[in-house]
Structure 1
Amino acid sequence: MKTAYSLKQLIIAASVSATFLSSALAADTLKMELQANKISKGINGKSSYIAASDAKIGETVQYRAIYTNVIEQPISNVAVILPIPANMTFTGEAKPISAQATVDGKNYADMPLMRRVNGKVVKIPLSEYRALRWNIKWLPASKSADVSMNTIVN
């Protein structure tokens, strides 16, 4: 039986955070807009994005977060994080590709994540990824940066 997840459940599960890596800045320097869209392939092979009001097991959902600098000066060294919801598996597709990943929510590294098993270095399965992080080095006043990741509903 296929289970459907409402957009509200998906967005709650994918709550988004931003951390300033530089000196403490006001909490309201960034405005964030989160979108959840189902991805489907068209006849011509192009992807189309449809607002996800629900998603069934096996469907691909893209989470896209748009961060806008709402102060009148540039900000720098901002880390933005998109958690991977518990009912989703990361597909390995993220934009920008500079995203780092974590399996524990604390330690981030470039993808693919690796670990040592029986003396060999192996890739960590995407199903174990828990969040992605992007470092925004510079965001001018009134400008936006967006990040996205694709997931599959489990």
Structure 2
Amino acid sequence: MKASHTLRNALLTTVASVFLLSTAYADDALKMELTANKVVKNAEGKISYLPVRSAPTGTIIQYKATYTNTINENINDLAVTLPIPANMTFTGEVSPASAQASIDGKNYAEIPLMRKVDGKMVKIPFSEYRTLRWNIKLLPANKSAAVALNTIVD
């Protein structure tokens, strides 16, 4: 196991995707910026986010995607997904909280994901989550919306 994980490589291999439920928009109608920041909590409990390129095992990293509507019309019913990078484990923390999760990248459900084991419904461990999806009902003209998820470096 590596003592340090290069987050730049994780960012390059992490493909954030956008799916327009309404396909009437040009491909360049939406711009996306993806950032990775180390989550740091000070002695008073205040959280700050610091740019990071590499981090040791156990470091909490927030991946944040900001989507900007670059046209002069509203975009309705936008679904955006962020995969959880390899060598990272989802912490369960998302923004906004309306995210849905998937263990296969196809079937999404509310967090926490559940499955039946020995006749009982149990929570699926966050380590099995592979992608998160948010549904943005309205992205106004020339405005932005951001989604984020926290991970721990494995």
Which category describes the TM-score, using the shorter chain as reference length?
Answer: over 0.9
Distance 2:137 2:93 in 1: 21
The alignment status of 1:57 with 2:43, answered yes or no, reads no
Q: Secondary structure at the match of 1:28?
A: helix
Higher alpha-carbon deviation: 73-82 or 20-29: 20-29
Higher alpha-carbon deviation: 21-30 or 62-71: 21-30
Q: Secondary structure at the match of 2:86?
A: coil
> Which residue in the other structure is 2:11 paired with?
11
Distance 1:12 1:109 in 2: 27
Higher alpha-carbon deviation: 76-85 or 19-28: 19-28
Distance 2:123 2:12 in 1: 29
Distance 1:149 1:118 in 2: 31
> Which residue in the other structure is 2:46 paired with?
46
> Which residue in the other structure is 1:77 paired with?
77
Gaps of 5+ in 2: none
- C-alpha RMSD of the superposition: 1.2
Q: Secondary structure at the match of 1:19?
A: strand
Gaps of 5+ in 1: none
Moved over 6 A (4+): none
Higher alpha-carbon deviation: 7-16 or 131-140: 7-16
Identity percentage over the alignment? Answer: 58
Aligned residue identity for 1:150: N
Q: Secondary structure at the match of 1:85?
A: coil
The alignment status of 1:97 with 2:94, answered yes or no, reads no
Per-residue displacement from partner, 1:43-62 (whole Å, max 9, x unpaired)?
Answer: 21111211011111000000
How far off its partner does 1:23 sit? 3.1
Distance 1:111 1:50 in 2: 27
Residues 12-31 of structure 1: pairs in structure 2 closer than 5 A: 12-31=12-31
